[in-house]
Amino acid sequence: MYHQDSNARRTAKSRYQYTERQACTAGVYCPGAFPWCLCALVVILLGFAAPATPQYKDPEETPKDAVITRDETVKPDGRYANMPVEAIPYHRFTKPYYDWFVRNDTLQYNGAADLRADGDAAKLNEIAIGFFSPVENNPEMVFGVPALHGAQLAIEQANARGGFHGKPYALKLHNESALWGASSAELVKMLFDENCWGMVGCIDGQNCHIVLRTSLKIEVPIVDIGTTDPTVTETRIQWLLHNFPDDRQQGYTLADYVFKDLKLKRVGVIRTQTRYARIGVAKFNDEARRMGRQPVLEVKFERGDKDFGSQLRMLRDARVEGVIIWGEAPEAGLILKQMRALGMRQPVFGSSRTAYPQLLQAAGSAAEGYVSTATLDPSRSDPQWVAFRDAYRAKFHEEPIDYAAYSYDGMNMLIAAIEKAGLNRGRIMDVLRGYEMKSYVGVTGAAQFDYTLNNISPLYLARVKNGKFEYSPAPRQTGHEGVAHSGGK
Q: Do domains 114-245+380-455 and 248-374 have the same CATH topology?
A: yes
3-state helix, strand, coil in the chain (%, to 5): 45, 15, 40
Q: Where are the domains of the chain?
A: 20-54, 114-245+380-455, 248-374
Please tell me the predicted confidence (pLDDT) of residue 11: 40
Burial class (CB in 10 A: 0-12, 13-18, 19+), 441: middle
Distance (Å) of CA 367 to CA 93, 280, 336, 346: 42, 22, 6, 12
Tell how strand 67-69 and strand 72-74 pair up. Answer: antiparallel
DSSP labels, 320-353: -SEEEEES-HHHHHHHHHHHHHTT----EEE-GG
Distance CA 376, CA 17 (A): 50
Supply φ then ψ for residue 140, to 5 degrees.
Answer: -90, 10
**Crossing angle (nearest 10°) for helices 329-341 and 309-317:** 60
Those residues whose C-beta lies under 8 Å from the C-beta of residue 66, and which sit 6 or more positions away, are 73, 74, 75, 76
Please tell me the predicted confidence (pLDDT) of residue 78: 60
Residue 390 C-alpha from the chain's centroid: 28
Please tell me the predicted confidence (pLDDT) of residue 350: 98
Distance CA 233, CA 101 (A): 9
Contact between 81 and 456 under an 8 Å Cβ cutoff? The reply is yes
Distance CA 11, CA 418 (A): 42
Contact between 107 and 436 under an 8 Å Cβ cutoff? The reply is yes
* Among 212, 235, 192, 207, residue whose Cα is nearest residue 144: 207
Contact between 220 and 239 under an 8 Å Cβ cutoff? The reply is yes
Distance CA 3, CA 407 (A): 46
Supply φ then ψ for residue 162, to 5 degrees.
Answer: 120, 0
Residue 305 C-alpha from the chain's centroid: 26
Residues paired with 447 in a beta bridge: 440
Which CATH number is associated with domain 114-245+380-455? 3.40.50.2300
Contact between 217 and 207 under an 8 Å Cβ cutoff? The reply is no
Contact between 268 and 299 under an 8 Å Cβ cutoff? The reply is yes
Distance (Å) of CA 239 to CA 98, 117, 171, 214: 24, 19, 20, 10
Distance CA 105, CA 451 (A): 8
Contact between 266 and 319 under an 8 Å Cβ cutoff? The reply is yes
Please give the class, per CATH, of domain 248-374.
alpha beta
From first to last of its 489 residues, the chain has per-residue pLDDT tens of 333 333 443 343 333 333 333 333 333 333 343 343 434 333 333 333 333 222 222 333 333 333 323 333 333 346 788 888 888 888 788 887 888 898 889 999 999 999 999 999 999 999 999 999 999 999 999 999 999 999 999 999 999 999 999 999 999 999 998 787 778 899 999 999 999 999 999 999 999 999 999 999 999 999 999 999 999 999 999 999 999 999 999 999 999 999 999 999 999 999 999 999 999 999 999 889 988 899 999 999 999 999 999 999 999 999 999 999 999 999 999 999 999 999 999 999 999 999 999 999 999 999 999 999 999 999 999 999 999 999 999 999 999 999 999 999 999 999 999 999 999 999 999 999 999 999 999 999 999 999 999 999 999 999 999 999 999 999 865 443 333 343 443
Distance CA 296, CA 315 (A): 9
Longest CA span, the chain:
80
Please tell me the predicted confidence (pLDDT) of residue 142: 96
Please tell me the predicted confidence (pLDDT) of residue 89: 80
Distance CA 427, CA 197 (A): 11
Please tell me the predicted confidence (pLDDT) of residue 82: 81
